[in-house]
Amino acid sequence: MSGYHFLFVPGPSNVPAAVQQAIHCPMEDHRNPTIPDLITPLLDDLKKVLLTKKGKVVFFPSSGTGCWEAALQSTLNIGDTVLGASFGQFSMLWLDMCERLQFKTIVMDEEWGTGANLENYHKHLSEDKNHKIKAVLVCQNETATGVKSDVKAVRKILDDLNHPALLMVDGVSSVASYEFRMDDWGVDCVVSGSQKGFMMPAGLGILGLSEKAIEAMKTSNYPTCYFDVADMIEKTDGGFLPYTPPVNLLRGFRVALDLIFEEGLENIWKRHFRLAEGTRKAIVDGWGLKLCAKEKKWYSDTVSAIVVPEGTDAVPVISTAFHKYNLALGAGLSKVAGKVFRIGHLGDLNELMLCGAISGAEMAMLDNGIKVEPGSGVAAASKYWLANPSGG
């Protein structure tokens, strides 16, 4: 198909040309003496993105899922109790992993379209007088439903109750896209991945650990090997990895981080909110449709899940967008399969790119009998962006 392919799933996100060029380099010896000059500054700069001065950051050749496993196995003991909210595909899968890794899991099932229920966190933690709960899990951004959760508020609950559990955060589709403050929010483990806000191909899992989490590693009895965080810290402190690293990806990561710092973290957070808000105007004001996120407080700034009208199916909309308009949209997963399609709006993007996604989704809906006014989505988004210019 001629023309540009429009990638608007909520990850992988678009990779800037400068990053692609950096990745397309000759193979090199991953033990050569210049490798520490690449790896050490990368780790230092990742701390700046996570906003931690006290913690450590490591990366694994994996997706974010690998770092879920690394965080759990390296800091907890076999049979430890973990608490977490399930309100979408990825928060659900993280808790499923906990069960499969033989942790005792307290699952707080929430309505899909909502986020972490603070009252339920408080209830379970306040009842845990003997501090059997060793880790509290929060998914900052639930990609399946386009929902964000308040990590800072969960930390406040732990502090108010003087509860010693580790606070673990899934930041795969939020870090480097909207506000995350590891030290200020008292996050002990945060997981992210290269393929979303970091504007890279998939292949690098990122894990930030607090001093408290590193201390907990000393008493963990869980057997680890590939995902052993202590091994990774020891080797990366010397500028290498314990096994073969994807050096080409690391070359691209260097450029991606430079682009992030050039724009500035707070500017990136503002841009993502502004672009997300314009997309939401297209969905609600233009098309007259609903978001999967039930309330404004849950709205994600990295992905919008659009609920198709009763009696229609999102699956052919996604198929038409791909085959007819060269546009990749996110599918509905699990409980919302066929009920929603998703527009990812994170990473390297601007207004005109989003206009392409909005108009393509609009035409695909019309092709499949969903009655929206042609041009209404782009008109509503443009109206918002014109009234709220970048930097304004």
Q: Give the sign of the dihedral formed by CA 28, CA 31, CA 37, CA 40.
A: positive
Contact 279, 304 (CB under 8 A): yes
Residue 50 pLDDT grade (very low, low, confident, very high; cuts 50, 70, 90): very high
Does 155 fall in a domain? yes
Point out the least confidently predicted range of 1-5, 178-182, 194-198, 384-388: 1-5
Task: State pTM to two decimals.
Answer: 0.97
Cα 133 to Cα 106: distance, rounded to the nearest angstrom = 9
Q: Note whether 206 and 113 are same-domain residues.
A: yes
- Given 262, 279, 294, which residue is the final one in a domain? 262
Residues 215 and 97 in one domain: yes
In a domain, 257, yes or no: yes
Does residue 227 share a domain with residue 204? yes
The pLDDT, as a whole number, for residue 116 is 97
CATH of the domain at 167: 3.40.640.10
Spatial separation of the C-alpha atoms in residues 89 and 75, rounded to whole Å: 24
In a domain, 278, yes or no: yes
**Beta-bridge partners for 329:** 8
Does residue 166 belong to any structural domain of this protein? yes
- Co-location of 79 and 222 in the same domain: yes
State how many domains the chain has: 2
pLDDT over 70 (residue 198): yes
Q: 57: closest CA among 65, 45, 75?
A: 45
Residue 258 and residue 165 in one domain? yes
Tokens of 96: 């499923």
- State the chain's mean pLDDT as an integer: 97
Q: CB of 141 within 8 A of CB of 225?
A: no
Q: Would residue 392 count as lying in a domain?
A: no
| Nearest CA-CA partner of 326 in 290, 363, 297, 301 | 363
pLDDT, tens digit, 9 for 90 and up, residues 125-178: 999 999 999 999 999 999 999 999 999 999 999 999 999 999 999 999 999 999
Indicate whether 390 pLDDT > 90: no
216-246 tens-digit pLDDT: 999 999 999 999 999 999 999 999 999 999 9
In whole angstroms, give the CA distance from residue 274 to residue 259.
19
Contact indicator for 140, 149 with CB cutoff of 8 Å: yes
Beta bridge partners of 85: 108
Q: How confident is the model at residue 363 (pLDDT cuts 50, 70, 90)?
A: very high
Q: Is residue 318 part of a domain?
A: yes
CB crowding 245-259: b at 16 or more within 10 Å, else e = bbbbbbbbbbbbbee
Question: Which residue, 204, 238, 262, sits at the end of a domain?
Answer: 262
pLDDT digits (tens, 9 = 90+) for 260-298: 999 999 999 999 999 999 999 999 999 999 999 999 999
Q: Is residue 150 situated within a structural domain?
A: yes
Tell whether 150 and 269 lie within a shared domain. no
Assess contact for 346 and 357: CB atoms under 8 A: no
Answer yes or no: is 212 within a domain: yes
Cα angle 239, 245, 248; round to 5:
105
- In a shared domain, residues 239 and 313: no
CA distance 193 to 195: 6
Q: Are residues 218 and 302 in the same domain?
A: no
Grade residue 27 by pLDDT with cuts at 50, 70 and 90: very high
120 and 90 assigned to the same domain: yes
Tell me what pLDDT residue 1 has.
77
CATH code of the domain containing 288: 3.90.1150.10
Give the mean pLDDT of 359-382: 98
Cα(65)–Cα(193) distance, rounded to whole angstroms?
A: 9
Q: Are residues 255 and 273 in the same domain?
A: no
State whether 252 and 165 are in the same domain.
yes
% helix / strand / coil in the chain, to the nearest 5?
A: 45, 15, 40
pLDDT at position 2: 85
Q: What is the pLDDT of residue 245?
A: 93
Give helix 265-281 / helix 376-387 axis angle, nearest 10°: 140
Longest CA span, the chain: 63
3-state secondary structure of 321: helix
What range does the domain containing 297 cover? 6-12+265-387
Where among 262, 293, 313 does a domain terminate?
Answer: 262
Claim to verify: residue 187 and residue 275 sit in the same structural domain: no
